[in-house]
Chains A and B, each alone.
Chain A
């Protein structure tokens, strides 16, 4: 079976591999967002599982527990849990990444408790004291895992896990390099499948798959430059291909992203430090997310550069010429960040389309018209 075929199977049947591992006696720990270090869970010989929702299924049971003005991604995840689709989880970990996730953690663990439940408090402010606090929270998370597993953390295993995940990060960056050509050698739709498939399987297995996929891509024939718009996507959760596929179907290439389900979770390596927890602390707390507040730097222009400069580099290196924001509705921090980022990007002469969506494939029809109009506007300007 080709790598892409295996990826598509894993993408289509999320949870299948984790369920197998659970049935074979492995402990599977489900978690949200980008602030829970996979490496720590892996060092305990457990399987980290990034919890995902389902844009294809209606949220029908969660409303009895969770208000409809909460993030629909979170509601969808909880809806799946209520339906038993996450019954294979042996643990449930939520970072205090935002109001919705924090509040949902309590509702989830009250109504669908796992054998192990834990919340990691993640500082919103960036700075030395925040690092020290987050480090303490990781220490406490480890203590809880030690009590749950009945064994002490082996720092050697933690170092090995860091190397393993850094290897995966390097491979994913290598894969992203293949998006730089014109046209890109791998589509945004395929990338989404690769990333989502990897969220539910052990990192070592994902590494093999990504490596095999990269090898397959290298055999693809060279295509002529097509001049289609090259899109950079910014937003929060895109764990379904529907939206990216729509953009590409409308006549554009999605070449780079800053998403919770994209570069945000894998781009930067964990530094290899004497105490591996120092490296993990530094890496995870610096995850780019609108929920984290960098101290203000100088006047407005300088501050915007400090906040968004990393995206300018992405856009420049991947030669994106337009940006689409995909914001899952009710994400207050994204809603507040969006206009600032648009101002920054417009100053770089980049057109921006800001989409606020309900995390549902049922809205695709309406979005198609907006995307078509945006792409038409780009091509005529």
Chain B
């Protein structure tokens, strides 16, 4: 199949540190190939599954298949993998991350080698696949399907969160207990695969590094309340690589420290993303359009800067009770606290934790308008956007817009339609007299 010609897809970044992320991304796949050559264990993983530190503590090299799908889209080299998965029987409406991953695995199996010209050298055959139910259904089901193409032991864990209406005092204990048991089962599986026991001190060290990196990331995001905005959303969609794919390592801590210093400098010297910041936009939700990230710069040409976003965020810091002395207990507690962070607030007002989070952002970041991205193949981040817009409208009169395409499948994107929508949105912002 002819390879799609690459065109520019990426956005101009606002910070210098964000430009260093490309090397971090390349290193993910390079490290995986090197690990395979050295006989180390490599695992397909899912982002934000709450098991990152465990994997690091066990010296397993993570291979994030979702990130690879985004990378293929950014390189505009996704069609051959999407079409291969569809030829193998996967629906065109199935999660396009999964379609790229499955299509890639299928081609690699058929060829007996990595498909020619695969972005960043492609993904080697993993030694295991670790799914999770955090965030969406395909993330625990995809690797089961991938066993069609590769013989690697597969394991999945549940990551559970109660609905916001539940009384946390009634459910907290058994949610945390279950989370702990799921993580322990994963550790048992990994010990079997690696032939070595989990070292709890190493796990604590990975947790310490993970928490430190995420605290720095949180602090960076808090700096972004400044006017003018020191770091835009297109940078977020790069710098998240350190937090999500290097969790539990010194690399992530060092990266965010450097980024923090740069963003702080910009805030102190009032250096904005663009010279004349007229409108401050909240990216309200939906996976980013990896195929067309330059669209953020297009908004900037009208003076509109995306100053904060509600996807692929780091979790806000949470305070695990001091009496928790075991690292697995700590991870279980941390998961519960992260996923229930806005529950009490929601119960007191809108009933919806995401609405509360967005309202906080609108207030803190002095937002002028909200943009959502509906992805046709991502139910988890898309269903509820329309409802959310309507709920937000009860507390805020800001202009809101929903752009529709997909996170990686370009067939669902129309540049002309987006530009027409953006034009109307900018007019709405202008109409508010700013």
Hey, which chain A residues are within 8 Å of B151, CB to CB? 299-300
Report the separation of the CA atoms of residues A303 and B178 in the bound assembly, to the nearest whole angstrom. 25
Q: Is A336 an interface residue (CB 8 A)?
A: yes
Which single residue of chain A is at the shortest CB-CB distance from B156? A293
Report the separation of the CA atoms of residues A121 and B170 in the bound assembly, to the nearest whole angstrom. 14
1/0 contact string of A12-28 vs chain B (CB within 8 Å): 00000000000000000
Report the separation of the CA atoms of residues A330 and B170 in the bound assembly, to the nearest whole angstrom. 34
Q: Is A291 an interface residue (CB 8 A)?
A: yes
Q: Is B59 an interface residue (CB 8 A)?
A: no
Report the separation of the CA atoms of residues A234 and B171 in the bound assembly, to the nearest whole angstrom. 36
Interface residues of B in 112-158 (CB under 8 A from A): 131, 133, 136-138, 140-142, 144-145, 147-148, 151, 153-158
The reply to whether B379 and A100 form a contact with Cβ atoms under 8 Å apart is yes
The reply to whether A119 and B165 form a contact with Cβ atoms under 8 Å apart is yes
Q: Is B12 an interface residue (CB 8 A)?
A: no
Q: Is A380 an interface residue (CB 8 A)?
A: no
The reply to whether A296 and B147 form a contact with Cβ atoms under 8 Å apart is yes
Hey, which chain A residues are within 8 Å of B89, CB to CB? 338-339, 342, 354
Hey, which chain B residues are within 8 Å of A337, CB to CB? 141, 145
The reply to whether A293 and B140 form a contact with Cβ atoms under 8 Å apart is yes
Report the separation of the CA atoms of residues A105 and B351 in the bound assembly, to the nearest whole angstrom. 12
Q: Is B181 an interface residue (CB 8 A)?
A: yes
The reply to whether B166 and A140 form a contact with Cβ atoms under 8 Å apart is yes
Looking at B138, B171, B383, which has the most chain A CB atoms within 10 Å of its CB?
Answer: B383
The reply to whether B383 and A103 form a contact with Cβ atoms under 8 Å apart is yes
- Quote the shortest CB–CB distance from B150 to chain A (angstroms): 10
Q: Is B410 an interface residue (CB 8 A)?
A: no
Hey, which chain B residues are within 8 Å of A127, CB to CB? 185
Q: Is B429 an interface residue (CB 8 A)?
A: no
Q: How many residues of B contact A (CB 8 A)?
A: 57
Partner of B386, one of A65, A133, A140, A342: A65
Q: Is B384 an interface residue (CB 8 A)?
A: yes
The reply to whether B144 and A343 form a contact with Cβ atoms under 8 Å apart is no
Partner of A110, one of B90, B138, B387: B387
Hey, which chain B residues are within 8 Å of A100, CB to CB? 379, 383
Partner of A125, one of B90, B158, B351: B158
The reply to whether B178 and A107 form a contact with Cβ atoms under 8 Å apart is no
1/0 contact string of B71-101 vs chain A (CB within 8 Å): 0000000000000000011110111001000
The reply to whether B91 and A356 form a contact with Cβ atoms under 8 Å apart is yes
Report the separation of the CA atoms of residues A303 and B146 in the bound assembly, to the nearest whole angstrom. 13
Q: A-B contact count, CB below 8 Å?
A: 162
Q: Is B187 an interface residue (CB 8 A)?
A: no
- Quote the shortest CB–CB distance from A332 to chain B (angstroms): 5
The reply to whether A99 and B160 form a contact with Cβ atoms under 8 Å apart is no
- Quote the shortest CB–CB distance from B211 to chain A (angstroms): 26
Report the separation of the CA atoms of residues A67 and B285 in the bound assembly, to the nearest whole angstrom. 14
Q: Is A104 an interface residue (CB 8 A)?
A: yes
Q: Is A329 an interface residue (CB 8 A)?
A: yes
The reply to whether B141 and A290 form a contact with Cβ atoms under 8 Å apart is yes
Interface residues of A in 324-372 (CB under 8 A from B): 327, 329-330, 332-333, 335-340, 342-343, 354, 356
Hey, which chain A residues are within 8 Å of B162, CB to CB? 121
Q: Is A143 an interface residue (CB 8 A)?
A: yes
Interface residues of A in 296-310 (CB under 8 A from B): 296, 299-300, 303
Hey, which chain A residues are within 8 Å of B148, CB to CB? 300, 339-340, 343
Hey, which chain A residues are within 8 Å of B376, CB to CB? 69
Q: Is B352 an interface residue (CB 8 A)?
A: yes
Partner of B136, one of A99, A143, A299: A99
Contacts A125-B133, A132-B178: A103 and B185 contacting too (C-beta < 8 A)?
no
- Quote the shortest CB–CB distance from A80 to chain B (angstroms): 17
Which single residue of chain B is at the shortest CB-CB distance from A330? B93
Partner of B379, one of A65, A69, A132, A295: A69
Hey, which chain A residues are within 8 Å of B131, CB to CB? 293
Q: Is A64 an interface residue (CB 8 A)?
A: yes
Contacts A124-B133, A125-B182: A335 and B94 contacting too (C-beta < 8 A)?
yes
Please provide the 8 A-B residue pairs with the shortest distance between their CB atoms, ordered closest to farther.
Answer: A129-B181, A339-B89, A133-B178, A136-B174, A103-B383, A124-B133, A335-B94, A335-B91
A-B contact pairs, 16 of them (CB 8 A): A64-B386, A65-B390, A69-B377, A107-B384, A118-B165, A125-B140, A125-B156, A129-B181, A133-B160, A291-B137, A300-B151, A332-B379, A333-B141, A339-B145, A340-B145, A340-B148
Give B contacts to A, CB under 8 Å. Answer: 88-91, 93-95, 98, 131, 133, 136-138, 140-142, 144-145, 147-148, 151, 153-158, 160, 162-166, 170-171, 174-175, 177-178, 181-182, 185, 351-352, 374, 376-377, 379-380, 382-387, 390-391
